[in-house]
Amino acid sequence: MRLSADRDRCAGAGMCALTAPEVFDQDDEEGLVVLLHPVPLPGQWAAARMAVGLCPAGAIALDSPDSTAP
């Protein structure tokens, strides 16, 4: 699993950081997404997938939807 985040699309809602704080954060200046771990650990996959689905701006992408792929 590999994630990407588009800061130009980010609306700063913070759903990613609330849902998967080990994987995402928000910057202090604009509140935009900060991707802490583009390749989350297997134990973080479920929360990372949920964060992708909850992002209201569609700023987070899951580049490898196969749950068996790192």
Rounded Cα distance between 41 and 48, Å, is: 10
Q: Residue 23 sits in which domain range? A: 3-62
Enter the pTM of the model: 0.87
pLDDT in the model for residue 47: 97
Contact 23, 36 (CB under 8 A): yes
Domain count for the chain, please give it. 1
Report yes or no on 13 lying in a domain.
Answer: yes
For the segment 31-57, what is each residue's pLDDT rounded down to a tens digit?
A: 999 999 999 999 999 999 999 999 999
Alpha helices in the chain (DSSP H): 15-19, 45-54
Q: 67 in a domain, yes or no?
A: no
